[in-house]
Structure 1
């Protein structure tokens, strides 16, 4: 039996995001294919000798990957989840916003890692990262990987254009769990015809602009998610504005079964982010009969084509217009059909296993 070691970022469970779902669901569905998978957090001690292959996630967190590939001779693949924060950083204001106008995005990411170490005690695991910096670390991880597993062709093209690596890749799409998000789910009527936004509450997800865009409408907005540990000030801004509007609320991160019933009752799901590789919650909402509003920044158009409503994250009128159009239009059933055909975890697991076999059978 093939034994797979999956290694995730240190904050995978304390600050859950789309990658938390991606990792756990990929592992779950690989096990259904008869693969022995264990998931570890980046700073755990691991006996590498028990495994045939390592699978990492989040190439923009190379410090979580470097110690393992420097200690182990195992072949490895990387699900890149290559999020680009540069446009958000330039628009955020403050010191980082200013620095983003004069420094490269890689230098900004390095400064952020150092700041997290000083401010929060987030340790830096690798001397390589500390000495070589962010860009060199990302390139090193990518060049040593046997295969990269982006969620889209668009993601891979962005990555190689930025870092100039030639590592081969296999597209492994993000997906939904069709057992959890099924037509059998009963709608939670408390959220009937709500506009929903599900995601970690942080600047990149752009909830503050969403609140401002909808605060003078008659729509009911429900934001679901935990604040990112490094964006508590941003979360408090969102909370203050929400409290001033009777038609809005924030709910903490909830389990997928509850989420499915909320989606089922809602009309629109919106992610007006500064960047999304996919937006897992958009896939999940669409399968539960929501129209979806998404950012065009990132790789969303490869997934949603012309079946979503697109908005510009820096334009309140654009966000409002897209949400109102989505609310007033019939449900896009063709998007649901596309997702059931292309974007289910069974397909993701099959493609992931194909990647493992490509590496191990070279």
Structure 2
């Protein structure tokens, strides 16, 4: 049985995201065929000498470069989950409501911001003195990588065994942003939800929720701004998701608006099953996020027969052309208007024709582990 060390974000256990869900699905569907060991990144982490290294999330570029260094001559497979740098920069410039962090995000170049963030994460994930010293030493050494950081990432990707992108759009973004040649790219998208996940699809005419948006309440998702746009138009919308930072001005402004507006319905942090139930009762999923790659929420909503109206933030339209509508730009008033019009149609889109399930995705990944 092949051994694989899957290196994930140091905060993967406390900040759940699509990358964590993806890894859990691979663990489940490769059980008995691959010995997967999930390793939370740390600059002093130990990788098994005979294991393939599967690194997840190159948007932590210093973590990626350190992992490649530690991997040595091991086979390396990468799941980049990369967000376009121009869209990311646009998001940073709009950052508000989180104090010093928002200020740093707006004024610091992305490479320097990532260096600062990497150092903070390293300190937080170092419970022992030895790990703290290793993390500090790595930060000092890594500052030399700040100049031309993304070009360094591109060259390292070229040397990896395989890069498993979620969509051709992600491949293009990564090639443009880093100079990666893309010759070792393989497209392995996310799997569709299982049959049990779509059991409660409601008939279109009986769906009681016009619009819903799902995800953490945070600036990246533009939750507050979307709520403001919907409230100004008296458009009814349900929000489902935890507060990204309960103490932030951003979160408090959102809560105040949700409490005062008769059309903004905040359901709070709810279970995944409850999210699916609500999406199955909704006509339109609204995605106002600045950046996505292949949104799992979009994919789930489409398989529940729900239309998706989104800002042009990722690659959902590539896989779900009959279900996903992108607005021309990032204007939220236009997003709400488009979603309102989509919710008022008399016929829903039904379930999509989508060939990838998690077993097929896991099989394709397993082939990359084996070098085929």
Instruction: Give the match for residue 109 of structure 1.
Output: 114
Q: Does 1:142 align with 2:137?
A: no
Gapped runs of 5+ residues in structure 2?
Answer: 97-101, 127-131
Q: Deviations over 1:286-337 (max 9, x none)?
A: 111211111223323312325322236642321111110221122212xx22
2:341 aligned residue (305, 325, 340): 325
Instruction: Flag the 1:14–1:166 CA change in 2: closer, same or farther, 3 A.
Output: same
Contact 1:204 1:274 in 2 (8 A): yes
Contact 1:15 1:228 in 2 (8 A): no
Q: Does 1:183 align with 2:186?
A: no
Gapped runs of 5+ residues in structure 1?
Answer: none
Instruction: Give the match for residue 7 of structure 1.
Output: 7
Q: Does 1:130 align with 2:143?
A: yes
Instruction: Give the match for residue 63 of structure 1.
Output: 62
Instruction: Give the match for residue 244 of structure 1.
Output: 260
Q: Pairwise CA RMSD of aligned residues?
A: 3.0
Distance apart, 1:183 and its partner CA? 2.5
Instruction: Flag the 1:217–1:66 CA change in 2: closer, same or farther, 3 A.
Output: same
Distance apart, 1:230 and its partner CA? 10
Distance apart, 1:129 and its partner CA? 2.7
Q: Does 1:88 align with 2:88?
A: no
TM-score w.r.t. the length of structure 1 is 0.83
In structure 1, how many angstroms separate the alpha carbons of the residues matched to 2:368 and 2:11? Answer: 26
In structure 1, how many angstroms separate the alpha carbons of the residues matched to 2:297 and 2:81? Answer: 15
Instruction: Flag the 1:230–1:258 CA change in 2: closer, same or farther, 3 A.
Output: closer
In structure 2, how many angstroms separate the alpha carbons of the residues matched to 1:253 and 1:267? Answer: 21
Spell out the pairing of 1:1-362 with structure 2 (5 A cutoff): 1-31=1-31, 34-43=33-42, 45-49=45-49, 51-73=50-72, 74-84=74-84, 85-92=88-95, 95-96=103-104, 98-99=106-107, 103=109, 105-113=110-118, 124=135, 126-127=138-139, 128-133=141-146, 134-135=149-150, 138-139=153-154, 141-166=156-181, 168-183=184-199, 192-228=208-244, 232-311=248-327, 314-329=330-345, 330-333=347-350, 336-338=351-353, 341-358=354-371
Contact 2:151 2:179 in 1 (8 A): no
Contact 1:9 1:57 in 2 (8 A): yes
In structure 1, how many angstroms separate the alpha carbons of the residues matched to 2:15 and 2:248? Answer: 12
Instruction: Flag the 1:58–1:112 CA change in 2: closer, same or farther, 3 A.
Output: same
Instruction: Give the match for residue 129 of structure 2.
Output: none
Instruction: Flag the 1:62–1:175 CA change in 2: closer, same or farther, 3 A.
Output: same
Instruction: Flag the 1:313–1:255 CA change in 2: closer, same or farther, 3 A.
Output: farther
In structure 1, how many angstroms separate the alpha carbons of the residues matched to 2:104 and 2:60? Answer: 19
In structure 2, how many angstroms separate the alpha carbons of the residues matched to 1:110 and 1:313? Answer: 30
TM-score w.r.t. the length of structure 2 is 0.81
Instruction: Flag the 1:337–1:304 CA change in 2: closer, same or farther, 3 A.
Output: closer
In structure 1, how many angstroms separate the alpha carbons of the residues matched to 2:15 and 2:268? Answer: 12
